[in-house]
Structure 1
Amino acid sequence: MSHGDTATDPVDAPGARRVGGGRTGLGAWAELLRLPALFTVPGDALAGAAAVPATPGRRTALAIGSSLCLYEAGMALNDWADRDEDALERPHRPLPSGRIVPAAALTAACALTAAGLALARCAGRPAFRVAVPLAATVWAYDLGLKRTPGGPAAMAAARGLDVLLGAAATGGPIRPALAPAALLGSHTLAVTTVSRHETRGGSPLSGLAALVTTGALTRLLPRREAGAIAAGTPARPTGTLGAVLAAAYAATAARPYLHATLNPSPPLTQRAVGAGIRATIPLQAALAARSGAPVSALLTAALGPLAAKFARKVSVT
């Protein structure tokens, strides 16, 4: 997560229109915060909540609010930290173009972080104990780790912690949420690795690794249902839903990854990163279905069309 899935700050997705038309105001802030990518966040907490025995409730909603704030804090901090680099490579971005001053972006990052931690505290001490290292990971990534070999791992850790935040807030032991956290973290690791240095062209090996990861995750998603059948217990109705959502995940990410593998040019690499970010939503939904939570799965899946609609106006990357 930059906190979210924006990886190492990829350039604007091909075909996306910039909001704001060079003016300051809400359009510039929507561009800075990459609002369409915000739709990839609630599914983290819902997938985590679905994995634990407790029923999602008010504290789960507070965890989602905390995740949203911390995600947007990462977005604002990301552009603040990269303002000099963006002045050379992406002068149209809100900070280098002067539509938002750097101090305002840093202030927003601090305020959103504080709000995220406050919401997590309201969700209970277990949630707060997860939110603190999550916030620390976001700041560490944006302020330095993303330019190191540990950058993709830090991004994956943030996504995994976000899943655990939903589980901790909902109640009960969070151990069952470790599996969905690891799967979402693996997906994030792949997307982040593809995005590194994408403004100058990617690497065929990173695209291939992401493609292999997508295939492996697609096979693993329904495994819990298969295990239940093997043990002699009836498959839950969510098995079919989970299979459909797993297929949607693969369909969203696989082809762009393949294209980036065959031709790791900047446009195709950027397109692959955008697809990887969008694929987070069906992956989260499939994980919720895998845990036997069809309502959470369908709610998460419904965020996909909304993300696509807003992405036509504001780039998700």
Structure 2
Amino acid sequence: MTAPIETTGSQADAQPEAVLKGVEARRIEGRSLGQIAWTRFKRDKIAVVGGIVVVLLILVAALSRPLQALLGLDPNAFHQDLIDPNTSLPKGDFGGMSWDHPLGVEPKFGRDILARILEGSWVSLVVAFGATLLSVVIGTVMGLVAGYYGGRVDTVVSRLMDTFLAFPLLLFAIAISATLQGGAFGLEGLPLHISVLIFVIGFFNWPYMGRIVRGQTLALREREFVDASRGMGAGGPYILFKELLPNLVAPIIVYSTLLIPTNILFEASLSFLGVGIQPPQASWGGMLNEAVDFFQVDPQYMIVPGLAIFITVLAFNLLGDGLRDALDPRSR
């Protein structure tokens, strides 16, 4: 006579139905492409740090006016009592740093450096994001059309890209910005300066995005899903924007994050040369321009805006590199 089967004990001795029920409860779930890319991105600690810095910079730029009000700062307030009348330099050590002016004050006028850095942050990011958006829209449309239709259309668009790339962009931007300083298109002052910078930087930089989108489209147009769409009677616009464009989101996002720091540097360069954002509006490039006469005796006024530009550009570049590796690991 056999002994009865034990019904108590460890999980290994449990009935088959109970074991299968536990396995089903712990069933492995599939992951989407976005979840896989996010997992890869999180492994890149440097890119994560860059992303955190970018988020903080965007928050500072968006809340620059409330932060100034909270700290009691005014970017255009003169503090002549903090300036030595004999040397035009801030009184005290380290550029006049104090509890009221944590980063000191600028020479000659005594305006608070922290307030001007905060005020210039939103100007730089607005111009950079606006110009990047314009470049991405034009470049994506032109690249899609050239890559998909090919033939004469591709030839015309490609030669147009070469023409724009051959322009001496900096000289052209200086000429346009200087011509439109007074007023144009019903705009004047700061709105005009920002609009001109967005147009000049974004309109003449679209070929860089266009070349990338064109190259990707040339590869995608031979894929089976495009042939299937053609076989079902889909027209060109539908295939371009419903089939091809969703497959180009990853390279567009990556290149956009790498284009933003370039546009920040371009805006700072134009403001430094005096044809970008005009005073008294604060901008990082304008602060560097005003610091030229004092950097040998008061380098802090040049170091602070220079560091702001350096950290911003570095953070966006690190974020862009991390996104590229996460979204397209084969490119590493």
TM-score by length of 2: 0.27
State the structure with bigger RCO (CA 8 A, min sep 6), 1 or 2.
1
Higher Rg of the two aligned structures: 2
